[in-house]
Copies of this chain bind each other. A is one copy, B any other.
């Protein structure tokens, strides 16, 4: 079949990622995805056993894209504090870019999807846990480097702090999506992160 229609599977994943990010699992149909990806329904079910499985595949792809960036941001050659600073900048820039592209602040696709499907699609929950565990391992490693440099107190519970960081970011992204506004994100993300790290923890000034 040469390559008249290459990457059908990938086109489905890309399209699903975009539509699910903009809207929601419940309000995007398999037909919507097929139409937007220019794929027939039969082909869809050749590649994916169900709509939920495509959603899971799109979560994985989104993570893989993020991973590439995270490997840069959390490069061990950088100061650990700089890594978190760069993370905050990246998140803000990325959200701004997506908001421009899709005319809407979209937040974290995996979190929105998992929240919607909580208690309904076990597979989505499992994929989410996997992704958040992998992300937290970046934070943990940076935190350990901070501890080694004496930047955070000895005996700090690294895993617990890493988890607080991901929870904090989740909250910021969720609210940005709901309010369709990244102003609060841009204002609060970096200082909030720093306060969790125990650095210049003062409350915001007028």
Q: Which residues of A173-206 are within 8 A (CB) of B?
A: 174-175, 177-180, 184, 187-188, 192, 195-198, 201-206
Interface residues of A in 104-161 (CB under 8 A from B): 104-105, 107, 111-112, 114-120, 125, 128-129, 152-153, 155-157, 160-161
Counting every copy of the chain, the complex holds 2
Residues of B within 8 A of A188 (CB): 160, 163-164, 167
Given A107-B115, A118-B178, A129-B179, output 14 extra A-B contacts at Cβ < 8 Å: A23-B120, A112-B116, A114-B178, A125-B179, A155-B206, A157-B203, A161-B204, A163-B184, A164-B192, A167-B184, A168-B168, A168-B171, A195-B195, A197-B203
Chain A contacts to B: CB under 8 angstroms: 22-27, 104-105, 107, 111-112, 114-120, 125, 128-129, 152-153, 155-157, 160-161, 163-164, 166-172, 174-175, 177-180, 184, 187-188, 192, 195-198, 201-206
Question: Can you show 29 pairs from A to B with CB atoms below 8 A apart?
Answer: A23-B120, A24-B25, A24-B118, A25-B26, A107-B118, A115-B116, A115-B174, A116-B116, A118-B180, A125-B178, A125-B179, A129-B179, A152-B203, A157-B204, A157-B205, A161-B203, A163-B184, A163-B188, A164-B188, A167-B175, A168-B171, A170-B175, A171-B174, A195-B195, A195-B201, A196-B203, A197-B203, A198-B201, A201-B201
